[in-house]
Amino acid sequence: MDSLATPLLSSSTTFTFVYDRPLKCIATRYYTLELEKKSGRRNRGLTLLFAGGIGLSMWNYSFFPSHDQETWQPVIQEIFRLSSLPTSAVHVHSAWVIERPNHGDAALLNAGILKEHYTELFRNWQYATAVKTFLVSELLSPVEKSNIVGIGFSGGGGALCVVHFNTIVLHTKRARVLCHELLNKEGKSAVAIRMLILLESPHVGPEAFSHFKVLYPFLRKANMRRPKHWKSIEDAMSWFSRHPPWNSFHPAILQIISDTYFVPDPSHPGHITTKTTAEQETAAFVDDGNVFQTLPYLRTVLHTLPVHLVLGSMRDFWCDIQV
């Protein structure tokens, strides 16, 4: 991977959203000064909006730590490099990554409320609500709002579909009041997403939910058997690098994991653990069925909304495509 002519810069912002109760979320903006100048002159640069998913390995039915926002950096850097080429017809203004509220640094901010209310289930619609709150906020500049491309990995793709179709239903009257107080934008719809790129997203409909409900208990048990604390980052990375799928990860991703994924473990003094707990990984993967409604919604707009579905060469989880 070639380096950029100018370095990749970033800045993070914390905001509050409400689905059923207030939670914190982190949005990180990636950009380069070179590309900002180029897209500013054209006033038509793309804004990339990344939504992450839940990592799942079918090897031994074990979960692995979910991709926190930092692991998008090598992908973003390569996109920016390609965009900076003189021959490129695509110009990227900036890239935003929205952290899942129960992942990474956002999970640390929400640790107390996650432990109290979301040990069993953390709906994908929570994440979709966070993304929608971000879109109607003032965090995006007018130029950024004008040409947004949503890029979702796994369940992140489902969250972007929910945002696009404006199907979020806040659970309680109190949540609606809080949402209005926090946004002060009642009745305002989210900024339009002009294109969707779905990476390994769950292209299955409601009929698949019964099969997933059978799978959930086995995955929950397997996930809780995974090691959760280590004496050092070196010990943790030694374990990860010897087990699939981490042993096939790009070195740049492994370095990011080493640099950003771990915190001291308060329940085991002298040890470290992951920012995203195994409990929250499981709670985020288990769903109440709402995420499976996105495929029927998607079918209704394929003739008007450009949608690209990208699948890996190894079919180790998802079934055949349904369109």
- Enter the pTM of the model: 0.85
Q: What is the pLDDT of residue 200?
A: 83
Q: Is 320 inside any structural domain?
A: no
Q: Is 4 inside any structural domain?
A: no
Distance CA 73, CA 50 (A): 11
Residue 210 has pLDDT above 60, yes or no: yes
Per-residue pLDDT band for 297 (boundaries 50, 70, 90) equals confident
Structural contact between residues 73 and 256, judged by C-beta atoms closer than 8 angstroms:
yes
Residue 17 has pLDDT above 90, yes or no: yes
Q: What is the pLDDT of residue 71?
A: 76
Distance CA 295, CA 246 (A): 30
- Domain of residue 221, CATH code: 3.40.50.1820
Q: What is the pLDDT of residue 64?
A: 36
Q: Is 315 inside any structural domain?
A: no
Residue 199: which H helix or E strand, with range?
strand 193-199
Residue range of the domain that includes 44: 9-310
Residue 138's φ and ψ, nearest 5 degrees, are -100, 15
Q: What is the pLDDT of residue 41?
A: 53
CA angle 134, 275, 115 (to 5 degrees): 80
List pLDDT tens digits, range 233-267: 999 999 989 987 788 888 888 998 899 999 999 99
Q: Is 319 inside any structural domain?
A: no
Q: Is 260 inside any structural domain?
A: yes
Higher pLDDT, 273 or 291: 273
Q: What is the pLDDT of residue 166?
A: 64
Q: Is 266 inside any structural domain?
A: yes
What is the domain count for the chain? 1
Q: What is the pLDDT of residue 270?
A: 97
pLDDT average, residue stretch 178-198: 61
Residue 192 has pLDDT above 90, yes or no: no
DSSP per-residue string spanning 208-255: GHHHHHHHHHHHHHHHHTS---BSSHHHHHHHHHTSTTGGGS-HHHHH
Q: Is 3 inside any structural domain?
A: no
Residues in contact with 309: Cβ distance below 8 Å, sequence separation at least 6, in sequence order? 198, 201, 203, 321
Highest mean pLDDT among 54-63, 145-154, 219-228, 287-296: 145-154
List pLDDT tens digits, range 52-88: 887 433 223 233 334 455 678 888 999 999 988 889 9
Q: What is the pLDDT of residue 68?
A: 54
Residue 139 has pLDDT above 90, yes or no: yes
Q: What is the pLDDT of residue 272?
A: 98
Query: Tokens standing for 302?
Result: 């394929």
Q: Is 2 inside any structural domain?
A: no
